[in-house]
Amino acid sequence: MRALNYVLRGAMLLAAATLLVASFEMLRASGDEPTTTKTTQSAEPSAKQVADLEKTLAGSALVGHFTTTGEEDAGALSKERYELGEVKHLGKDQWLIPARIKYGEHDVTLPLTLPIRWAGDTPMICLDEMPIPGFGTFTARVMIYRDHYAGFWAGKDHGGHLFGVIERAKNEDAAEKAPAAN
C-alpha cells in the first residue's frame, strides 16, 4: 500500500510540476501586463507564449522535491524527477506532455494530455480529479516561472507541496532523445 502511495504521489508530482513549469515560463516570456480572468476560464496564450512554453518544456527535466502532509515527518523532502519529451499545444488549454516517471520501482513513460491555464502571463497546470494511468486520480495546481515550478498536489487520501527547477535540454538533439508520445 505504501508503495502505491509513493507511485501515486510521483504521478501527481509530475503532472503538477509540468503545469508549474509551463505557468512560470509563460509569465516570463510574455512581458504583458496580467489580465483579469474568471477562475473557471483561462486567458488564451499568445503564439509567442505557446512557442516559448513548448521550447522550455521540450526535452527538459523537472527536478525537485515534494512533501506529504500528515505523515510523521511531514517536513521531510522526497526527491522527484520527471523527464519530458516533445511538448505540444493541442489547442485551447490542452497540452500533450510525454513524461517519463521514475518512482520507486516504477519507470514508465506516459503521454499525458494536461490542461494548462493562464493566470495573466503565468502558465499553471490545473488537474481536477484527473486519472493518471497506473498511479491513481489527482488534483494539482502547479505554477511555472523562470525555469522553476511550485505548487500543491493531492491524491485520494494524501497530498502536499512540490517545487523544483526545470533543467532545459542542453541542445536541440536532447529533445529528440527524450521520451516520445506513443
Q: Give the pTM.
A: 0.70
CATH for 2-177 is 2.40.128
Take residue 129 and report the three cell numbers written for it: 480529479
Residues 131-181 pLDDT 10s: 998 888 999 999 999 999 999 999 998 899 999 999 998 765 544 555 655
Contact between residue 91 and residue 67 where contact means Cβ atoms under 8 Å apart: no
Q: Which of 22-36, 102-116, 138-152 has the highest mean pLDDT?
A: 138-152
DSSP string, 2-23: HHHHHHHHHHHHHHHHHHHHHH
Q: Is residue 95 classed as helix, strand or coil in its secondary structure?
A: strand
Q: Is residue 42 classed as helix, strand or coil in its secondary structure?
A: coil
